Amino acid sequence: MKISIVIPTFNEADSISRLISDIRRNLELNGYNNFEIIIVDDNSPDGTWMIVDEESRRDSRVKLIRRINIRGLGSAIVDGMRASTGDYIIVMDADYQHPPEVIPELIERAISIGADIVVASRYSRGGGVRGWSLLRKIISYGALIIAYILIAESRRTRDPISGFFLVKRGVDIGCVKGKGYKVLLEILVANPNAKVIDVPYVFRERLYGESKLGLKDIIDYIIQVLELSRISKFAVVGASGIPVNLGVMALMLALGSPVDIASLAGIESSIAWNYLWHEVWTFKYMFRGGVKGVASRFVGYHVSVILGAATQYAVMRILYTILSLNPLIGQLLGIIAGFIVNYTIARRIVWIKPRL
Ligand code: GDD
Ligand code: MN
């Protein structure tokens, strides 16, 4: 059994040698002699990569990936993971905020429990943070809450934004883009059935150097969470269906079609359009079934929107008949009414109970 440790670095010259020795010692003490330590350095101006290069000459288990024209924590982690060959891959920071003593525990728990993902967690009982300003605490909790609200898969761990975690080989990292800070979140979303467990640890103060977390990272984070969030994708797709609906209806009317046929054709086109995007985008990790699955999901999606669709048509028809309103405006008001109906059904019938 082989262990891979992946460490992204940028200007960590003060700590990297000591960290490599500490990791080596912690692994060997626990009988893990088959390992590699992959350092992914973005050509640090302080020469971190030169130190790693020397280390790798002394111990071939230390490997350097020096990236010249790319910069970024997330993509560094992804590159390191892709280059790794171990059965278990551990990702951690170089600044001692992630204590190397926790590594053997992550491996032991992964093996004994048969977990696919082990998260070193600050927010589990026994874990914590040391030396954080109030602002940093607020940012971190804010990030946690945003993830919990928008991404169901994140709720499998107490610390979905941890930068310290283990994944077993076989966990799908193929779709992880590594944009933004939160690689673990992406992995959790891409692997909805992976078994996840937490190991508490105390996030320590930085020993050397300084944090690179800035405002841009916070914005990136929010964008990343929205991109990963199914509900925001669902809303985007729904909104994109409106021009499809109205466009098809307008085209049909222009071609001389009766109002009812045009309205229903618009509605059906938007349902088919939305279905397509939900299939390939919103729910792409949820349903990977075969051709048969596609047909049943297509029908199922129709069933789920039938009342909203009926509302759309009825509102258009009533406004057109009674107020002689332009049928396209009637259709748009129908879309809004249909949205309210769909939301109400979802809220009152499907998702009635608060989640614990
Ligand atoms: N290759 C590379 N490229 N490495 C980088 C870059 C980069 O652009 N930016 C930062 N790193 C390395 C640092 O050298 C360090 O080893 C690690 O990534 C974390 O960087 P820090 O700047 O220390 O991040 P942090 O302490 O603010 O954030 C940590 O804690 C967060 C939880 O609050 C990280 O672990 C985050 O991933 C984590 O979410
Ligand atoms: Mn740090």
Please report the pLDDT score of residue 352 as a whole number. 66
203 lines ligand 1 (CB under 6 A): no
Arithmetic mean of pLDDT over the chain: 91
Distance from the alpha carbon of residue 128 to the mean position of ligand 1, in angstroms: 18
Which phi and psi (to 5°) does residue 36 adopt?
Answer: -135, 145
Name residue, tokens 């690179």: 212
d(CA 252, CA 273): 17
Q: pLDDT tens digits, residue range 147-178?
A: 999 898 999 999 999 999 999 999 998 878 77
This model's pTM is above 0.85: no
Q: How far apart are the first and last CA of the chain?
A: 38
Which phi and psi (to 5°) does residue 8 adopt?
Answer: -80, 140
DSSP label of 9:
E
CB burial string 8-33: b at 16+ within 10 A, e below: bbbbbbbbbeebbebbbebbeeeebe
d(CA 212, CA 227): 23
d(CA 127, CA 196): 17
95 lines ligand 1 (CB under 6 A): yes
Closest Cα to atom 24, ligand 1: which residue? Answer: 211
Say which CATH superfamily domain 3-228 falls into.
Spore Coat Polysaccharide Biosynthesis Protein SpsA; Chain A (3.90.550.10)
Q: Which of 93, 137, 216 has most ligand 1 atoms within 8 Å of CB, for mutation?
A: 93
Write down the domain spans for the chain.
3-228, 231-350
pLDDT at 28 over 80: yes
- SS3 sequence, 233-267? HHHHHHHHHHHHHHHHHHHHHHCCCCHHHHHHHHH
- Name the amino acid, one letter, at 97: Q
| Residues 182-207, mean pLDDT to the nearest whole number | 92
Q: pLDDT tens digits, residue range 85-132?
A: 999 999 999 999 999 999 999 999 999 999 999 999 999 999 999 988
